[in-house]
């Protein structure tokens, strides 16, 4: 079994890399990092440098890989050192808004563009993307976080649309959006104050929960949005 983890050097991504290797002794993991290759290594782990904002990096990686069973995209941004998510529309800054889309939305489309053929050789391929519950339009009751919400809502639409196209092009594949819950990473760190202790997951916990969800998916579940506990979420 061959698993690709885009964003494997991040908090959730590294948790997934380690948990997949631990739970499946015959699995090979291909994981990406942006700038500095992680120190963690294993005989069944291959690291690749990839900038998710550069299309050529995706094309090059697709050439290096031969066959894929699962692709999991964990890349995402909520804030930078200089700017956090907007509480009001007057705080919108075009560059920050577009950066959210470049990182939260576009990479999934580029993965679909370059990796679909690599999934054709698998009996039960899966393309899973870490999204966020705040990207659900139906579930939006608090407002705010304009750039992040919009980019995740766009991501969810991209996932749904890919699933419809792949019904014919990659017919056995399940394309799914996943909500990981609040995970103790740099992305959520500034916003953990009001999160109950039992609802703040370690990266290993989140990885275990998400892999349990992914492991139960098949092509009949394609084009749907799943919570970390296996419950379906509204788009």
What pLDDT does residue 185 have?
76
- 192: pLDDT strictly greater than 60: no
| Domain 2-233 grouped into CATH 3.40.50.720 | yes
Q: How confident is the model at residue 186 (pLDDT cuts 50, 70, 90)?
A: low
Nearest C-alpha neighbor of 233 from the set 161, 134, 133, 148: 133
Q: What is the rounded distance in angstroms from the CA atom of residue 134 to the CA atom of residue 70?
A: 25
Residue 197: is its pLDDT beyond 70?
no
DSSP secondary structure string for all residues of 132-199: -GGG-STT--S---HHHHHHHHHHHHHHHHHHHHHHHHSTT-EEEEEE--EESSTTTGGG-TTS-GGG
Q: Is the pLDDT of residue 228 over 90?
A: yes
What gap in Å lies between CA 13 and CA 60, rounded to an integer? 21
Instruction: Quote the CA–CA distance of 57 and 149 in Å, as a whole number.
Output: 26
As a whole number, the mean pLDDT across the chain is 94
Residue 221 pLDDT > 90: yes
Single pTM value for the model: 0.94
Per the listing, tokens 């109950």 go with: 196
């Amino acid at each position: 079994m061959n698993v690709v983890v885009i964003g494997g050097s991040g908090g959730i991504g590294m948790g997934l890399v380690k948990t997949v290797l631990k739970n499946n002794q015959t699995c090979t993991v291909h994981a990406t990092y942006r700038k500095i290759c992680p120190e963690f290594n294993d005989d069944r782990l291959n690291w690749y440098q990839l900038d998710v904002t550069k299309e050529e990096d995706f094309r090059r990686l697709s050439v290096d890989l031969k066959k894929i069973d699962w692709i999991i995209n964990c890349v995402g941004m909520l804030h930078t050192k200089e700017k956090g998510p907007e509480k009001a529309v007057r705080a919108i800054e075009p560059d920050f808004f577009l950066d959210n889309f470049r990182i939260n939305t576009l990479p999934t489309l580029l993965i679909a563009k370059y990796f679909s053929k690599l999934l054709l050789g698998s009996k039960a391929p899966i393309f899973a993307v870490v999204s966020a519950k705040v990207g659900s339009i139906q579930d939006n009751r608090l407002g705010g976080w304009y750039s992040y919400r919009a980019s995740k809502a766009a991501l969810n639409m991209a996932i749904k649309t890919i699933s419809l196209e792949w019904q014919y092009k990659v017919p056995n594949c399940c394309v799914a959006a996943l909500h990981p819950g609040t995970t103790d990473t740099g992305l959520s760190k500034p916003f953990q104050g009001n999160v109950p202790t039992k609802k703040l997951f370690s990266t290993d916990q989140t990885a275990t929960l998400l892999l349990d969800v992914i492991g139960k998916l098949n092509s009949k579940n394609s084009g749907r949005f799943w919570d970390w506990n296996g419950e379906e979420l509204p788009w």
